[in-house]
A and B are shown apart, each in its own frame.
Chain A
Amino acid sequence: MSQTTIEATETNFLLQLSQTAIHFEPVTKITNVFYDEVTRQVFTVRSGGATGVNVKGPKMKNPINFCVEDKGAVQSIKFSPDQQILAIQRTSKSVEFQNFSNQVPDGVEYSQSCRGSSTTIIGFVWVSNTDFILVTNQGIEHYQVIPDKRYLRAVKNHSIQGNWFVYCPLSGLLLVSSGPLGTSLQPYLFKNHQLLRLTKFEVDFPNPPQPARLCLVERDVTPTVLYNQMVVLVLKHPTKPNPTSSREVTGKSEIVVYTLCKDSPPRKTHILQLETSGKLAVSILDNLIIVHHQASKTSSVFDINLTGESDGRVVTLRPFLASVTIRPYFLNIPASAAMLNHEPSQMSCELYSPNWVFFQPNIIIDALLGCLWSLELVLTPLINMAENPCELFDFLLQRTDAKPTAMEVLSRLMCFPHSLSVELPVLGRVFDKLNEAYRNQLDIEIQSQIAMPAGAFQLATGSSSRRPNMVIDQTNIYSRILSPMIENKPANEACDRFIVAIVSEYIRSLVQYHIPVQHFIYEVLIEAFARLGQFYQLHQLFQYHAVADSKPLACLLLSLESVYPAAYQLAIDMLKRISNANEEIVEILLSKNKVLSALRFARDMIPIESISARKFLEAAQNSQDPSVFYGVYQYFQQRNQRARGSPAFLKGEHCEVYSRHFKLLFGDGDSNISLSDSLSMG
């Protein structure tokens, strides 16, 4: 796995903050700010809610403003996902609720206390519009809220001595830390209004402190979803080799990825090796793990689907991209404030500020500035980093909206003469990657076209053919790369040889993935061979059927006959293999003045009634050979005799002129020459 460092020039920022930040009142003595990962809402609570609560979020059109009675300092405040119920925690013993309608509280609070007198609440989470989970130091309490009755019904209680918990709204996974070190993680999965307990797992922690104290903290554990798989990321800080040693810690941090499988306990599957240690935070973006390092103000990007070193169980990955930075961000200052201070109307924002708090999956909050952003991925700078094209395409193929970037990279790889540095086998492997996705897409299309019984359908969708994020098909390659390349190409042999090489390679890859090659791709190849004058080489391609048969290609070959006579043979052979091209073969043979051959072919291959007598008689007359004309004329007379009991032609066949011609040549009398005699001539 190669590691690429990007120079921090203007166009080279892979990460950026969303242009429209959400502004909220910064934290002060009287103002508290809360963020809820489930609803992605930021709450600003002034004076315990008495002078107003303001709720904003990236998913909300308009902020919600309301007041609640100040009954003490708010410790936590969260809406139910549908914003119908507000939960406020002010003490460690109970949570209060208020129903909302039309974003206005009804003013009546109801309360739920945790069980047991020595129990304290660690926190709570809304797992659905009515399912409410209370996590305490004694266990998990699952309630169903019945807002009409202003009452909570206890659903289930899981007993566990928790230190802290994290919840992933994407998967419904609740992770509770227990044990004196905090390294024992108990996952619960919320599904269908039920909270299921999954298999507990231990995060190994070398050299635990004596006496035992909490070592694994909430901040370092991130449950999330990558490539439709539930995973838990655990950030591990370097440990001191010897607890008594006062030496500086020189090791590097790593992230351990635990994957939660359906029927087996969570398993350690990946180790992401970081270049740094210190204050780290994780964002998840487009199935990527982005690790931010505050001290160096850089981020590293990991993709667990890329290949790394594997010991058979655990894959060790180095960052796909290291030391990338977030694009500088400028904050607009309200016009009046700017005027007052004679300052520019924009100020640059400190990136990786100590005031930044990272929330899942990709939310960044600066509590002092009062800003909320989502982190965004910009793929275009990758165009300049094609040192390892195979890995780059592995990466791009997994991203959403990567097609423009991928096309740009591809066109650079395939452009002449720049890409002479790219080895053809490498290009071939890139094509293979693209065509594998292309094949999957085609499989899915085929499956959707075949009507399948319900049972079989499920089986089919469960197969490996996952709908690819990006498909670069033959039309894309042709219109975006090949066609412009041919239009602008220098008229030299080297370029045509290059075109032959890359297009052959592309076809090789398509064939390998059993994708039918479109004739316009072949045309590029054939025309390049023709420009090079390498007709014999072209011939070999056809000889091995490396070019699929089609009528357009047969026509193209016929057009090459004047420069390469053998193309005629290739064309007519191709037409023979195409089942419905017999008429064309007859036409070609007639145009070659091979009237009797054409007639014999037609006799064997075409229903006798549908052979046009006029066409053959005309060609026979043009051949200037009376014996040929005689044979053809006799053949059709006999056909008429058999079909209609009379040798005469029908009016609609327009053969009168040929009957006259026959009389002119041979008179009225019957000849003794039989049909078979004349047909075996020539």
Chain B
Amino acid sequence: MTNSESEKSHSLVNFFVFDTSRNFPEDEEYKSIIYYYPKETSKDTQMKEIGRTAAILKFSQTFGTSGNCHSLHTRKTRQYFNEPEPGFCMAMTVKLPNMSLHNDLEPHDKVFNSLLVHSYHMFRLFMGTMSSALKVSEQPEEELEQLKLRAAYFYSKHLQMMPLEDADLADAFLGIQFLPMDKLSFLKVRSLVSHVEQTFPCITSTTVLYQDQIIWTGLCQDDIQLIYNYLTTKLFPASLSLNTETRFLTGPADVHSLTSEMRIPHVFLNHSQTIPDECQLVVYRIAGVTVCLFIPASVELDHDFFASLDLIVGPRIVALSADVAEQALVRKTNSSLNTGTDSIRFLYFNQWNMAFKSTLHQSIPGHRRILQCQPSANNDVIKTCADLCEDFSSFGEGEILVKTKSDAWVIGKLSNQRHLYVVVTRKNAELVDICDEVRRLRNLLFKDILLLE
């Protein structure tokens, strides 16, 4: 990244995780550092940063009125804090772009805080909780060894993928895109899932996607939110480089070869339970349909399992995918608003079922979504949406209409946990026209749900 580029967008100054419950001797305090980025930072600087963070948190706990401190604003940086588990703390510092040039690029606390929290959730998904990595030992520093290894393994990769430059409200919502389809096709998918689970009783849960959209998931909401994010931002993009014949995105590379290498990630699910479930994640894809199978870690998966899965499930999915693909196509061409006309776009998120839909963004299977509003209004508009979202969190339900500097109207609405942000970029539009436009959009796309005035 060149110097000038780094000045235009946000960049990561540091990211660290440390232990707050153990008392190390004064000269060994650095042992409480579980992970620190950048790695090259001197021990001294690391200790100073951590000491300062601990102090800020302590201070805010003592004098704050509304719970913990989440962020610290300075002229050139923003620092975000998170205490993911008792006794552990994590923090991330982001450098602001050159303020005088890009006044509108001030980061949104809600968005960046979400990135930090999300980084922990992803860690927990693949590595288990931090406390589960603790080893029983007399020496406090030895207790943390395993955790340090895991954190280093996970975060060294995760931080590279963190979308600091173009994070927006969508990253804060971290919603799920469901595939719109008719009930019969949906019930057929359900029937397929039941069949798979009956045939292979070791499967505890199944999730089905078509391209990048969910059709069915047997997971709980918290888990599917993370798994969906993992699939769409990591596994699917990575699979683009795979041979198109490959059906198991995780599992044996070649199902017909007995000696084929197995690569099955383990994930930790159901964190609301006292002991989360450790599962193997088998991802099978054929004809655009992806089936994710969650199988307890204790079950040994042999070659036969994959072969018979391929044999039994493969043909049924192929038969089904024709249906699904047809529907996906019909719906795409039917509603011009879904693809987004230039003058009116929207972002919708339902907190109750995590459903997310946006015509402000363009989603390309296998790639991170990109904003597709008029280029000049891009940041302006999506930032206004985030502003409104933050307003709602203190203000409650309602509707807010704003006109941005770039002459676009943004209408934010929160009704019964549903967020709807509509952007109208029409020259010289009156408020009445805007309201009419929004009503038209609602009657077209949201006629089946109750969005209160």
Q: Give the interface of A toward B (CB within 8 A).
A: 420, 423-425, 428, 497, 500-501, 504-505, 507-508, 511-512, 534, 536-537, 539-541, 543-546, 565-566, 568-569, 572-573, 575-577, 585, 589, 594, 597, 600-601, 604, 682
Contacts of A425 in B (CB 8 A): 191, 195
Q: Mark B175-218, 1 if CB is under 8 A from A, else 0.
A: 00010011110111011001101110000000000000000111
Task: Knowing A424-B191, A508-B187, say if A600 contacts B452 (CB, 8 Å).
Answer: yes
Q: Tell me if A594 and B452 are in contact (CB < 8 A).
A: yes
Contacts of B416 in A (CB 8 A): 568-569, 572
Q: Tell me if B191 and A543 are in contact (CB < 8 A).
A: no
Report 29 cross-chain contacts, Cβ distance below 8 Å, ordered by A residue.
Answer: A423-B195, A424-B195, A497-B197, A501-B194, A501-B198, A504-B191, A505-B191, A505-B194, A507-B187, A508-B191, A511-B184, A537-B218, A539-B353, A543-B353, A544-B182, A545-B448, A546-B187, A566-B353, A569-B352, A569-B416, A569-B418, A572-B416, A573-B449, A573-B450, A594-B452, A597-B452, A601-B453, A682-B397, A682-B398
Contacts of B353 in A (CB 8 A): 536, 539-540, 543, 566
- Total number of A-B contacts with CB less than 8 angstroms? 97
> What are the 4 tightest A-B residue pairs by CB atom distance, in nearest-first order?
A566-B352, A508-B187, A501-B194, A544-B186
Task: Knowing A536-B353, A539-B353, A543-B353, say if A424 contacts B448 (CB, 8 Å).
Answer: no
Interface size class of B (residues with CB under 8 A): 35 or more
Closest partner residue, chain B, to A533 (CB atom):
B220
A contact face: mostly helix, strand, loop, or mixed: helix
State how many angstroms separate the Cβ of A496 from the closest Cβ of chain B: 13
B320 at interface by CB-CB < 8 Å: no
List B residues 209-254 near A (Cβ within 8 Å): 216-221, 224
Contacts of B172 in A (CB 8 A): none
B contact face: mostly helix, strand, loop, or mixed: mixed
Give Cα A500 to B216, complex, Å: 14
Q: Tell me if A576 and B183 are in contact (CB < 8 A).
A: no
| Known contacts A539-B352, A566-B417; 10 further A-B pairs (Cβ under 8 A) | A420-B198, A428-B191, A508-B191, A536-B219, A537-B216, A540-B178, A544-B181, A544-B186, A566-B352, A601-B452
Contacts of B178 in A (CB 8 A): 540, 543
Contacts of A540 in B (CB 8 A): 178, 216-217, 353
B116 at interface by CB-CB < 8 Å: no
Contacts of A600 in B (CB 8 A): 452-453
Give Cα A577 to B453, complex, Å: 17
Contacts of B191 in A (CB 8 A): 424-425, 428, 504-505, 508
State how many angstroms separate the Cβ of A330 from the closest Cβ of chain B: 48
Q: Tell me if A512 and B197 are in contact (CB < 8 A).
A: no
Q: Tell me if B218 and A508 are in contact (CB < 8 A).
A: no
List B residues 438-453 near A (Cβ within 8 Å): 448-450, 452-453
Give Cα A204 to B178, complex, Å: 64
Contacts of B355 in A (CB 8 A): 543
List B residues 406-453 near A (Cβ within 8 Å): 416-418, 448-450, 452-453
Q: Tell me if A536 and B220 are in contact (CB < 8 A).
A: yes
Closest partner residue, chain A, to B214 (CB atom):
A540
State how many angstroms separate the Cβ of B114 from the closest Cβ of chain A: 21
Contacts of B396 in A (CB 8 A): 682
Task: Knowing A424-B191, A501-B198, A505-B194, say if A565 contacts B449 (CB, 8 Å).
Answer: no
The one of B184, B219, B417, B448 in contact with A508, judged by C-beta atoms closer than 8 angstroms, is: B184
Q: Tell me if B183 and A546 are in contact (CB < 8 A).
A: yes
Contacts of B184 in A (CB 8 A): 508, 511-512
State how many angstroms separate the Cβ of A634 from the closest Cβ of chain B: 18
Q: Tell me if B221 and A546 are in contact (CB < 8 A).
A: no
Closest partner residue, chain A, to B418 (CB atom):
A569
Contacts of B350 in A (CB 8 A): 569
Contacts of B352 in A (CB 8 A): 539, 565-566, 569
Give Cα A625 to B195, complex, Å: 55
The one of A536, A565, A597, A682 in contact with B217, judged by C-beta atoms closer than 8 angstroms, is: A536
Contacts of B220 in A (CB 8 A): 536
Give Cα A93 to B178, complex, Å: 87
Closest partner residue, chain A, to B417 (CB atom):
A569
Give Cα A353 to B302, complex, Å: 61
Q: Tell me if B452 and A576 are in contact (CB < 8 A).
A: no
Most central of A425, A497, A512, A575 by chain B CB within 10 Å? A425
Give Cα A682 to B392, complex, Å: 11
The one of B187, B199, B217 in contact with A511, judged by C-beta atoms closer than 8 angstroms, is: B187
Give Cα A286 to B5, complex, Å: 85
Give Cα A604 to B186, complex, Å: 34
Task: Knowing A504-B194, A572-B416, say if A545 contacts B452 (CB, 8 Å).
Answer: no
Q: Tell me if A423 and B199 are in contact (CB < 8 A).
A: yes
Give Cα A597 to B218, complex, Å: 35
Task: Knowing A546-B183, A569-B352, say if A504 contacts B448 (CB, 8 Å).
Answer: no
Give Cα A59 to B449, complex, Å: 66
Task: Knowing A508-B188, A508-B191, A543-B355, say if A424 contacts B452 (CB, 8 Å).
Answer: no
Contacts of A536 in B (CB 8 A): 217, 219-221, 224, 353
Most central of A423, A497, A569, A572 by chain B CB within 10 Å? A569
Task: Knowing A423-B198, A539-B353, say if A597 contacts B453 (CB, 8 Å).
Answer: yes
List B residues 134-192 near A (Cβ within 8 Å): 178, 181-184, 186-188, 190-191
Contacts of A573 in B (CB 8 A): 448-450
State how many angstroms separate the Cβ of B89 from the closest Cβ of chain A: 31
Give Cα A148 to B449, complex, Å: 82
Give Cα A5 to B245, complex, Å: 46
Contacts of B188 in A (CB 8 A): 508
Closest partner residue, chain A, to B449 (CB atom):
A573
Most central of A512, A536, A572 by chain B CB within 10 Å? A536
State how many angstroms separate the Cβ of B261 from the closest Cβ of chain A: 32
State how many angstroms separate the Cβ of A181 from the closest Cβ of chain B: 52
Give Cα A422 to B353, complex, Å: 34
The one of A512, A534, A565, A576 in contact with B450, judged by C-beta atoms closer than 8 angstroms, is: A576
Q: Tell me if B194 and A424 are in contact (CB < 8 A).
A: yes
List B residues 372-417 near A (Cβ within 8 Å): 396-398, 416-417
Give Cα A636 to B330, complex, Å: 47
Q: Tell me if B194 and A544 are in contact (CB < 8 A).
A: no
Contacts of B397 in A (CB 8 A): 597, 682
Give Cα A577 to B448, complex, Å: 6
Q: Tell me if B195 and A576 are in contact (CB < 8 A).
A: no
Give Cα A423 to B199, complex, Å: 8
The one of B186, B216, B418, B450 in contact with A585, judged by C-beta atoms closer than 8 angstroms, is: B450
Closest partner residue, chain A, to B395 (CB atom):
A682
Q: Mark B11-48, 1 if CB is under 8 A from A, else 0.
A: 00000000000000000000000000000000000000
Give Cα A566 to B353, complex, Å: 8
Give Cα A569 to B452, complex, Å: 12
Contacts of A601 in B (CB 8 A): 452-453
Contacts of B187 in A (CB 8 A): 504, 507-508, 511-512, 546
Closest partner residue, chain B, to A420 (CB atom):
B198
Give Cα A545 to B183, complex, Å: 6
Most central of B198, B217, B221, B396 by chain A CB within 10 Å? B198
Give Cα A597 to B450, complex, Å: 11
Contacts of A508 in B (CB 8 A): 184, 187-188, 190-191
Contacts of A512 in B (CB 8 A): 184, 187
Contacts of B398 in A (CB 8 A): 682
Give Cα A573 to B218, complex, Å: 23
